Amino acid sequence: MAKFSHTNDQSNKSSNPTTKYLEWRSNDKSFRYYDKERGENVEVQLPLKFAFIQHYHTVKGWHDKNQSGIYSNEVYFIGSEPMTVRAFKPKGFVVADGLYKDIKTQVAAQGGKYHRSVYVMLEDGSVANISFKGAVVREWSEFYQEFKTSEDTNWVEITEAVDQKKGSVKYSTPKFTVGKKFTAAEDLKHTAACGLIEAHMDAYFSKVEEPELETDGIDF
């Protein structure tokens, strides 16, 4: 059972503790994040080890007409919580609004894609977000069904990429495996990281604001 999902009646405010936003790079068989201070993309080679905190549903993409990235609010219950899909430029431009099942076609036509937004703790104790899309969502979902009974006690490890093929399209997906159990010290760090995300998401769901993530250098 997950440590939390979210609550909607909180008024507390918490700064976003997320230090990195990682995305899978199929061709490179590695992860990547945009470093705002350095102004460049940073590649993260495998192996990658992380502790699961919580995952949500969101939309990201690229709006050709506005030449702008697309984003949406994060939701926990995708079947009952509405999503507002917007473009960064012009600021606040609404692409679609409603339950994902009702706006899915419209969102896809405008360049938006479903993403699984996964909050994790890295080995150094910092909080990161890993964004999965396409075939990686399927791989994560299948793995999570096995892993969810260990999500509060074990690491997740990605030591290799798996070559995949659909028709003439070749791509890769990360191979998720259940890692070792937390030590006592790691468990304390994980509990603290979960508390940071829970406080942040309580504030987030009480008032969804513009995302803090910079779009420069990010591939949608």
Cα gap 112→15, rounded to integer Å: 27
How high is the pLDDT of residue 17? Answer: 97
How high is the pLDDT of residue 119? Answer: 98
Q: What pLDDT, in 10s, does the model give residues 115-135?
A: 999 999 999 999 999 999 999
Q: What pLDDT, in 10s, does the model give residues 149-175?
A: 999 999 999 999 999 999 999 999 999
Does 145 have pLDDT greater than 60? yes
Per the CB < 8 A criterion, the answer to whether 155 and 179 are in contact is yes
Q: What is the mean pLDDT of residues 79-88?
A: 96
Does 35 have pLDDT greater than 80? yes
Cα gap 86→206, rounded to integer Å: 19
